[in-house]
Amino acid sequence: MDTANEACLGLIVVFTELNGTLILQAVLQEDFMLDDILSVRKSAFAPGTHTELRGQLNRSRRVTLLSGSVVGNARSDISGVSARVYKNGTYGFSSMADYSLEAAEKVLHAASENADFMNIHAGAGKGPLPVLPRKTYRVQNGINDPAQKDYIDFAKALDAYAADHCPELISRVVVATEDSMEKLLLTSDGMDAHTILPRSYCYVFLTAQTPDGQPVELFKAFGGEGTFDLNFTDPSVWYPQIDNLYEHLMKKREGVYADAGLKTVILGGMMTGMLSHEAVGHTVEADLVLGGSVAGHCLNKQVASEKITLTDFANTAFGERCPLPVYVDDEGTKAQNVTLIKDGILVGYMNSRESAQHFGMEPRGNARAWLFSDEPLIRMRNTSVHPGKDKLEDMIASIDDGYYLIDSGNGQADTTGEFMFGVTMGYEIKNGKLGKALLDTTISGVAFEMLKTVDMVGDTVVWSSSGFCGKKQPMPVGMGGPALRCKVMIGGR
Partner 1 sequence: MDNLENLAEYIIVEAKAQGAEYVHCVVRESEKREFNVDGGRFSLMRTLFNRDVAITVMKDGRKGSVHVNHFDEGEVYDAIAECIAASESAEPDPAWQFCDEPTEQTYVQGTPVCDTEKLFFRTKELLENIRERHPKILIEQMITSHDVYRSVYLNSNCVMYHPTTGSYSFSLMYSGHEGEKSTSFFGSDVTLANLDKPVIECALIDRELSEIEKQLDPEPLEGKFTGTVLLAPAALSEIVLGTIFGNFVSDSNLIEGTSIWKDKLGEMVADDRLTISQKATDEDVVIGSRVTGEGYPAENFDLIRNGRLVSFDLSQYGANKTGQKRAGCSTGNIFIPAGDQSLEEIIKGIERGVLVMRFSGGEPAPSGEYSGVAKNAFLIENGKIRCALTETMISGCVPDMLNSVRAISSDLLKDGSVSLPYIAFDGVTISGK
Strand pairing partners for 81?
A: 55, 96
Stretch of 187-195, 313-321, 361-369, 403-411 lying at the interface with partner 1 (CB under 8 A): 403-411
Binding mask of the shown chain, residues 337 to 366, with x at each position contacting partner 1 by CB under 8 A: ------------------------------
d(CA 450, CA 433): 24
d(CA 226, CA 5): 7
Q: Is 112 in the site for partner 1 (CB under 8 A)?
A: no
Residue 468 main-chain phi, psi, to 5 deg: -115, 140
452 near 358, Cβ under 8 Å? no
Q: Which is nearer to partner 1, 108 or 457 (CB)?
A: 108
Q: Is 294 in the site for partner 1 (CB under 8 A)?
A: yes
383 near 281, Cβ under 8 Å? yes
Q: Which is nearer to partner 1, 16 or 76 (CB)?
A: 76
Q: Which is nearer to partner 1, 122 or 131 (CB)?
A: 122
Q: Is 445 in the site for partner 1 (CB under 8 A)?
A: yes
Q: Least separation, in Å, of the C-beta of 390 and partner 1?
A: 27
d(CA 341, CA 348): 7
Q: Which residues, including other chains, have CB under 8 Å from residue 65's CB and lie 6 or more apart?
A: 71, 155, 156, 159, 172, 173, 174, 175
Strand pairing partners for 138?
A: 14, 194
Q: Least separation, in Å, of the C-beta of 425 and partner 1?
A: 12
Q: Is 110 in the site for partner 1 (CB under 8 A)?
A: yes
Site for partner 1 in 165-194 (CB under 8 A): 170-171, 173
Q: Is 52 in the site for partner 1 (CB under 8 A)?
A: no
Candidates 177, 207, 315, 464; binder of partner 1 (CB under 8 A) is 207
Query: What's the burial of 164, exposed, middle or buried (CB within 10 Å: 0-12/13-18/19+)?
Result: exposed
Q: Which is nearer to partner 1, 303 or 439 (CB)?
A: 439
Strands annotated E in 331-381: 338-342, 345-346, 367-368, 377-378
Residue 297 main-chain phi, psi, to 5 deg: -105, 5
d(CA 183, CA 327): 12
Strand pairing partners for 430?
A: 401, 433
Q: Is 76 in the site for partner 1 (CB under 8 A)?
A: yes
Q: Least separation, in Å, of the C-beta of 427 and partner 1?
A: 17
Candidates 11, 22, 216, 335; binder of partner 1 (CB under 8 A) is 216
Q: Least separation, in Å, of the C-beta of 449 and partner 1?
A: 9
Stretch of 13-21, 225-233, 243-251, 417-425 lying at the interface with partner 1 (CB under 8 A): 417-425
Picking from 149, 90, 142, the residue whose alpha carbon sits closest to that of residue 116 is 90
Q: Least separation, in Å, of the C-beta of 14 and partner 1?
A: 30
Strands annotated E in 249-337: 261-267, 310-313, 316-317, 320-321
Residue 296 main-chain phi, psi, to 5 deg: -60, -25
Q: Which is nearer to partner 1, 156 or 321 (CB)?
A: 156
Stretch of 27-35, 327-335, 342-350, 440-448 lying at the interface with partner 1 (CB under 8 A): 440-448
Candidates 260, 301, 318, 468; binder of partner 1 (CB under 8 A) is 260
Site for partner 1 in 87-106 (CB under 8 A): 90-98
Q: Is 9 in the site for partner 1 (CB under 8 A)?
A: no
Candidates 3, 302, 412, 473; binder of partner 1 (CB under 8 A) is 412
Site for partner 1 in 464-483 (CB under 8 A): 472
Q: Which residues, including other chains, have CB under 8 Å from residue 390's CB and lie 6 or more apart?
A: 456, 457, 458, 459, 483, 485
Q: Which is nearer to partner 1, 159 or 390 (CB)?
A: 159
Angle value at C-alpha 378, between 274 and 315, nearest 5 degrees:
65
Strand pairing partners for 111?
A: none
Q: Least separation, in Å, of the C-beta of 188 and partner 1?
A: 18
Candidates 71, 101, 131, 237; binder of partner 1 (CB under 8 A) is 71
Helices 239-252 + 148-165 axis angle, to 10: 50
Q: Least separation, in Å, of the C-beta of 74 and partner 1?
A: 4
Candidates 5, 39, 49, 79; binder of partner 1 (CB under 8 A) is 79
Picking from 399, 441, 449, 402, the residue whose alpha carbon sits closest to that of residue 420 is 441
193 near 136, Cβ under 8 Å? yes
Q: Is 70 in the site for partner 1 (CB under 8 A)?
A: yes
Q: Is 284 in the site for partner 1 (CB under 8 A)?
A: no
Candidates 179, 375, 390, 407; binder of partner 1 (CB under 8 A) is 375
Task: Say how many residues touch partner 1, by CB under 8 A.
Answer: 80
Candidates 9, 147, 163, 397; binder of partner 1 (CB under 8 A) is 147
Q: Is 66 in the site for partner 1 (CB under 8 A)?
A: yes
Q: Is 311 in the site for partner 1 (CB under 8 A)?
A: no
Q: Is 254 in the site for partner 1 (CB under 8 A)?
A: no
